[in-house]
Amino acid sequence: MDAPGPASEAATAAALPASDREAMSWAQLGEAARELARAVHADGYAPDMILGVARGGLLPAASLGYALGVKNTCAMSVEFYTGVDQRLDVPMVLPPVPQLVDVAHWRLLIVDDVADTGATLEVVERFCAGKVAETRTAVLYEKPASIVKCDYVWRRTDRWVIFPWSAEPPVGAVPPSP
């Protein structure tokens, strides 16, 4: 079966039984960012920079940057998911990649929306290894099957998560055929 395109991803997720999905609201994103920031702060971790895993991790990363007062941010694009519960064989790092130079003594907080299999976070952690002093991970959601156990997690779930930024098809997308 072909992976659903952008126009049908939201519809495909919505077609899952309610017991198999969880929806996050925009208000919950704000709450989650503050809670994660409090956890990072309480842990005594003071990141020098936040790396958001694009695309899903960009909004949580920016929110955490504001909540923690961290202005140094960067992004790394990694493609893995092609549709609802459909993915490439391995995560693919997309250009441009961050140039982590002159940051060998920095602490880096890697942020993504969800650690599903954990493969994306594993790729990002490997990329950053040896380039910074320390990395930690923060996610909105972590699933039981994740091979990366994140340092900071807002919620744990085994359901498909529908995020507010991807709940609707892209503007101008062609609706799926019946």
pLDDT for position 11: 65
pLDDT for position 65: 98
Is residue 10 situated within a structural domain? no
pLDDT for position 18: 81
Is residue 143 situated within a structural domain? yes
For the chain, residues with pLDDT lower than 70 are 1-12, 14, 80-89, 175-178
- Pairwise CA distance, residues 129 & 109, whole Å: 13
Is residue 177 situated within a structural domain? no
The CATH number linked to 76 is 3.40.50.2020
Is residue 54 situated within a structural domain? yes
Residue 31: domain span: 23-96+103-161
pLDDT for position 87: 61
The structural domain count of the chain equals 1
How many CB atoms sit inside 10 A of residue 108's CB?
A: 25
pLDDT tens digit sequence for 96-143: 778 888 999 999 999 999 999 999 999 999 999 999 999 999 999 999
Is residue 82 situated within a structural domain? yes
Is residue 36 situated within a structural domain? yes
Of 23, 92, 22, 6, nearest in space to 53 by CA: 92
